[in-house]
Structure 1
Amino acid sequence: MTRRNRWRLAFGFFLVALAAWSVLLEPRWIARREQRVEVAQPAPARSLRVAVASDWHLSLRPLWRVTTVERARALVDEINAAQPDLVVLPGDFIADRDFHSEDGRPASEVIAAELGRLRAPLGVVAVLGNHDWWHDGQAFTDAFRRHGITVLENAAQPLPGTAWWIAGVGDDSTGHADPAKAVRAVPKGAPVLVVMHDPAAFARLPRIHGFALAAHTHGGQVYLPFIGAPVVPGAAPRAWAYGWIAHGDNRLYVTSGVGVSILPLRFNMRPEWVLFTLAPPREIAK
């Protein structure tokens, strides 16, 4: 074998290994990440643990869309085992329009029943994503509410027993986002967690005392060294693909989500669910 052929063979093995990693392994390797967020709160204040899991994209096609009902069930069990105070679901629960259960239930009912097993003392709060609206947004809203999940559409509510409020912004890419309306009821100076599906709505969010969460981008699914995500869906800047974002006085965390869309691959951008600890600022030792 010539030297050139050996290089060709090695390069071929590399491409096969890269494809196997990106299609078969990384999309199914869900990370549990932890983030601490310090926000000034009225005394007495306590820390809250908030679990965030977005972009499930449930499907009946495990090789193409990854997240089946069985995989979702295991992730629900994992989140419940962490014992969060609150669970937040920032949209895109379905992947395919051809999602039909064997017992004839609509997709919205099957998905709501599974996610309705999530348990937290302060409840489970969701906003809808573009895929949910493309399928049947009202059906998802109704099914979620039947299964104990609160859906916030440009609205806010207090978290009982805490100083915090939670607000939900409608999906931007389907024309449902009204960030100003979403936080209108929040008292001035009250800490608020603002949940949106598409980070594009973050640019129009009024100044808040707290922080925001978004999803939708999947971190680009492919995140290249020195380049970042080559492609980001929606109108948000490409730099807003993943992680902590600052805009004016507001800050936003964009999660990579737990599923995939368009193509069943990820590279250097693991799926994730995030456990946030919302805490009063640490005292500075004298």
Structure 2
Amino acid sequence: MKKYIRILKRDSLLLAAIIATFFTYSFIIEPRWVKVNQYELKIDNLPPQFRDFRIVLFGDIHRSKIVSAGYISKCISKVNKLNPDIVLNTGDYITGKQGYIFDIVEMLKTIKPEYGVYSVLGNHDGEIVAKGLKQAGIRVLRNESVTIEKDGGILRLIGLDDSLSGYENIVKELKDAKKTEVRLLMMHNPDLFKILKLYEYRIDLIAAGHTHGGQVVIPFIGPPLVPSIYGKKYASGFIREKKGLMYVTRGIGTYLLPVRFFCRPEITLFVLSDEKDSGLKDD
């Protein structure tokens, strides 16, 4: 009986240690352990002016009680260290109180790539957030496009609003795509990839966020919960479908619970190339 009690105590202590380790890692370590992914992105007929052009993508900051300004500042420092030519953000800057945006305006101002910072709004972002982004010098695209010229070469950047209407002019523009320009599209919710059949148009890269990769990923199974009508199909990373190539960032913040498991926050660098893909380089 005493031997049984000793074994029970030992097993209980082991189980407690495993649970404590899991919670420490998932709630304290991984949510702040940012991964910098780097890809060389091959584009057919890439204008030579945009060879080695550096695009940094991040999103889903979710400034809130559980995502501190200090952590966001460290993430922005990582963005700047990548020496981007342009920076794209897929929205969701805050959770809850819209005024949180003003906690990070000064930090966002420090991102100063030569060709600007562009963003779309997420489902958590309202007009107050849009006002804060304007103060930070960030151009918000709401069902519109901008032309970026570099030594005569053209890059067209399209931004979709986080709604289910107002896309008519954008769809027309997508149909009239020119082969001589780089075409990028950014949006918050990756479900629009399917809803608007964006894979039918000539777009070199579509960038999205929103899902956080599910935040919790079960090995060999995937994320059990993804905020998408298509389940885990568009959870994170590269998605190829017909003509389309979409990249869904896991974002840098968390929502509801400050937890991540096998789903590290990320910042992504794309380097444009007319050569063969070099693949992923981890930090």
TM-score (norm 2): 0.86
Q: Does 1:196 align with 2:187?
A: yes
1:188-227 aligned at under 5 Å gives the runs 188-189=178-179, 190-203=181-194, 204=196, 205=198, 206-227=200-221
CA distance in 2, matches of 1:247, 1:179: 22
- Whether the 8 Å contact between 1:156 and 1:182 is mirrored in structure 2 is no
Q: Taking every aligned residue pair, what percent have the same amino acid on both sides? A: 29
In the TM superposition, what is the alpha-carbon distance from 1:249 to its structure 2 partner?
1.2
Are the structure 2 counterparts of residues 48 and 153 from structure 1 closer, same or farther at C-alpha, using a change threshold of 3 Å?
A: same
Once structures 1 and 2 are overlaid, which stretch shifts more, 230-239 or 150-159?
Answer: 230-239
Q: Deviations over 1:63-91 (max 9, x none)?
A: xx2x3222222222221122100001100
Map of 1:89-108 to 2, 5 A cutoff?
89-97=89-97, 106-108=99-101
- The aligned residue for residue 35 of structure 2 is 31
- SS of residue paired to 1:17: helix
Does 1:2 pair with 2:6? Answer: yes
Partner Cα separation in structure 2 for residue 180 and residue 256 of structure 1: 29
Matched residues, number = 265
| Larger CA deviation: 117-126 vs 160-169 | 160-169
Measure, in 2, the Cα distance between the counterparts of 1:145 and 1:74. 22
Give the 3-state SS of the residue equivalent to 1:274 in structure 2: strand
Corresponding residue for residue 140 of structure 1 = 129
Match of 1:123 in 2: 116
Deviation at 1:224, TM superposition (A): 0.8
2:103 is equivalent to residue 114 of structure 1: no
> RMSD of aligned C-alpha atoms?
2.2
Q: 1:160 aligns with which of 149, 156, 159?
A: 149
Confirm or deny: 8 A CA contact 1:244 1:252 kept in the other structure: yes
Report how far residue 229 of structure 1 moved.
0.7
Measured after TM superposition, the shift of residue 92 of structure 1 is: 0.3
5+ residue gaps, structure 2, are 278-283
CA contact (8 A) 2:185 2:203 kept: no
What whole-Å deviation, never above 9, does each CA across 1:171-216 have from its counterpart, x for those lacking one?
14xx457387267166332321111111001111241230111100
| Cα distance change of structure 1 residues 120 and 179 upon mapping to structure 2, 3 Å threshold | farther
The answer for the alignment partner of 2:58 in structure 1 is 53
1:42–1:163 Cα contact (<8 Å) kept = no
The one-character-per-residue Cα deviations of 1:89-129 (angstroms, maximum 9, x if unpaired) are 100000122x6xxxxxx434443333122110110000000
2:161 matched to which residue of 1?
Answer: 170
Cα distance, 1:239–1:180 mapped onto 2, change above 3 Å = farther
Distance 1:18 1:40, change over 3 A: same
- Counterpart of 2:281 in structure 1 is none
Q: Is the CA contact (8 Å cut-off) linking 1:41 and 1:163 kept in structure 2?
A: no
Mark the CA change 1:81 to 1:42 in structure 2 (over 3 Å): closer, same or farther. closer
Contact 1:179–1:201 (CA under 8 A) maintained in structure 2: no
Residue 280 of structure 2 corresponds to which residue in structure 1?
A: none
Q: Is the 8 A contact 1:154 1:183 kept in 2?
A: no
Between the aligned partners of 2:256 and 2:188, the Cα distance in structure 1 is 17
**Partner SS, residue 225 of structure 1:** coil
Alignment correspondent of 2:275: 281
Q: Distance in 2 between matches of 1:147 and 1:25?
A: 30
Q: Which runs of 5 or more residues in structure 1 are unaligned?
A: 100-105
- 1:73 counterpart SS class: helix
Residue 52 of structure 1 aligns with an amino acid whose one-letter code is: L
Structure 1, residues 112-162: CA drift from partner, whole Å, max 9, x if none?
Answer: 333122110110000000011xxxx22222332233111111111122214
Give the 3-state SS of the residue equivalent to 1:141 in structure 2: helix
Answer 1 or 2: higher relative contact order, Cα 8 Å, separation at least 6. Answer: 2
Q: Which residue in the other structure is 1:15 paired with?
A: 19
1:150 aligns to 2:155 (yes or no): no
Measure how far apart 1:165 and its partner are.
1.3
250, 255, 275: which one pairs with 1:256?
250
In structure 2, relative to structure 1, the CA distance for the partners of 1:207 and 1:262 (3 Å cut) is same
